[in-house]
Amino acid sequence: MKATFFYAFTMLKILKKRNGNLLLSIWIPVFLFASIAFAAPKNDLTADIDFTPRLQKAYFEIQKLRLPAARKLIEIERKENPDNAFIQYLDNYADLHYLLIAEDKAAYKNLSSQESKRLDQVAKLSDQSPYKRFLLAEIRLHWAFAKLKYGDQASGSWEIIKAYKLLEENRKKFPDFIPTLKSLGLLHILIGSIPDNYAWVAKIVGLRGNIQNGIRELRTVQQQEPFFKQEAELIDLLIHAYTLKLTPDQQKKIRQWPNEQPDNLLLHFFATTVLMKEGQSEEVLQYLNNAPAGDAYIDFPFLKYLKGEIALQKGQYDGAAAQYLLFQKEYRGFNYVKDTNFKLFMCRWLAGKDAEATAFAKKIGSTGETIIEADQLAERIGKEYLAGKIGAQQKILYKARYAFDGGYLKEATEVLQNVSESTFKIPAEKAEFNYRKARIMHKTGQTVPAIHYFERCLQLSGNTSPGFGASSALQLGYIYLDKKEKQKAASYFKKAMLFKKHEYKNSIDNKARAALTDLGE
């Protein structure tokens, strides 16, 4: 038992640390939305399963982040049919939304005691019901995400393993029960994302994964389960947004959802975050500005943080600072605290207010936690700045980076137009300059000079800036893939995976590996 626990805990650490917080960045948003959306047929094997119209209404209210209304509906149903297993599931689903958004440690401690009670209630279902193991697995996965969010890694690892085994058992026992593939497909993708040199840990505890196989399972759900189609599409979309590459059709879909469901706060949030990752910040302002709000919805101060991000990208430093400060005032959670102080530092530093910037740099190290990657990065850069390792020349690179990340290409081009590689003295800064220049060139259709700058970045990277080297190799792979030069593309994808110990390794390796699989390598 001790050995099994060691391997389970080690696996969780690999997934969370080596995979660049993959669990928090993908599993949590996916399962804020993915849930049960079907009516179980009434027969002797599903006597305690009834997804009534009232519970369906509650389910959709939860999806919209209208938790007060959802809980009222669930309570009415509980009085009429207290043994209905779907009540336990929806209780859990609503709690998960609250815990992930509010980051309320007191509530987490209190609600954790409900897990075993809910599992016991669902366990009363017949072993011959396909819903028994499915619901048990879903509840365990919900708690895995919550436990990871709140830093309880050991317990979270057990939840993942147990959920995986329940889903595999359900697939073998009920091979025609397609809903199983929704969560199992996701797990197969995430387990398949573990770096090759650590895959043995997952195998020892009985976990098997494959990215392409997991995507096929999700698409089986999309094709064969109309009620699950949107959920499977969302999981597929988020996997591509966070670890692979979004297709044009997926980008179109994420734009459609908020317009089709204007009262769904969660879909406005997803559209904002996914499209921001695609450099469409100006466009997504409409989703932020039109997001539903009011007493009917759970408080969601993170939307103010996102407004701050866009203002920072646009170089509107006072406006960005105002949004970040509003976020800090309303937010009671523990993640993004260091990161927000870092962004406030940036708002002052990039505006030439170095004394004010230093005050925020000092706050980074004394506030918040380092569970998520953004806070880890904030703490590292804050320390480097206070140690005098970040010079004024890097203001140019940060301005170009933020403008490019937001899709403000004209502004990013203007930032770099009067500087060259010789402007920078440190090798890492020279490498970053070439990378930033290349990304802008590539995005604006100037492929030939983009190749030159990416190649120069590769030459300069070495051990000083492996992240930029790996990113350059990945982008060169995409360029040659578009040019139909498959052999050359494959060589760059392989080169991207050779870079070690950088903060983007898992994401870049996953994308390169997926591209090589498509190429038949």
User: What's the CATH number where 205 sits?
Assistant: 1.25.40
Range of the structural domain that residue 502 is part of: 426-521
Q: Let me know: does 73 contact 54? Beta carbons within 8 Å.
A: yes
Q: Let me know: does 287 contact 281? Beta carbons within 8 Å.
A: no
pLDDT value, residue 202? 66
Per-residue pLDDT of the chain (521 residues; tens, 9 = 90+): 434 434 444 444 444 444 444 444 444 454 454 444 444 444 444 445 788 899 989 988 998 999 999 999 999 999 999 999 999 999 999 999 999 999 999 999 999 999 999 999 999 999 999 999 999 999 999 999 899 888 888 888 889 899 999 999 999 999 999 989 999 998 998 888 776 655 656 666 677 888 889 999 999 999 998 777 877 888 888 888 877 778 889 999 999 999 999 999 999 999 999 999 999 999 999 999 999 999 999 999 999 999 999 999 999 999 999 999 999 999 999 999 999 999 999 999 999 999 999 999 999 999 999 888 789 889 999 999 999 999 899 999 999 999 999 999 999 999 999 999 999 999 999 999 999 999 999 999 999 999 999 999 999 998 788 999 999 999 999 999 999 999 999 999 999 999 988 877 877 888 898 888 888 88
> Could you say which of 191, 215, 245 is where a domain stops?
245
| Domain contains 158 | yes
pLDDT value, residue 198? 58
pLDDT value, residue 451? 98
In whole angstroms, how far apart are CA 200 and each of 190, 203, 241, 335? 15, 5, 27, 31
The size of the chain, in residues, is: 521
- Give the CATH number of the domain where residue 518 resides: 1.25.40.10
| Domain contains 88 | yes
In whole angstroms, how far apart are CA 518 and each of 214, 493, 498? 15, 12, 19
Greatest extent of the chain over all pairs of C-alpha atoms, in Å: 77
Neighbours of 497 (CB within 10 A): 20
pTM for the full model? 0.86
Q: Let me know: does 231 contact 219? Beta carbons within 8 Å.
A: no
- Which of 348-377 are b and which e, b meaning 16 or more Cβ less than 10 Å from the residue's Cβ? bbbbeeeebbeebbebbeeebebbbbbbbe
Nearest Cα neighbor of 59 from 135, 51, 133 is 51
pLDDT value, residue 204? 63
Between CA 495 and CA 381 the distance in angstroms is 27
pLDDT value, residue 196? 62
| Domain contains 288 | no
Between CA 27 and CA 231 the distance in angstroms is 13
User: In the block, which residue shows the tokens 């206070």?
Assistant: 386
pLDDT value, residue 373? 79
> Could you say which of 227, 245, 263 is where a domain stops?
245
pLDDT value, residue 195? 62
| Domain contains 209 | yes
Positive or negative CA dihedral for 360, 370, 91, 89? Answer: positive
Query: How many structural domains is the chain composed of?
Result: 2
| Domain contains 17 | yes
> Could you say which of 199, 226, 245 is where a domain stops?
245
| Domain contains 280 | no
| Domain contains 142 | yes
| Domain contains 297 | no
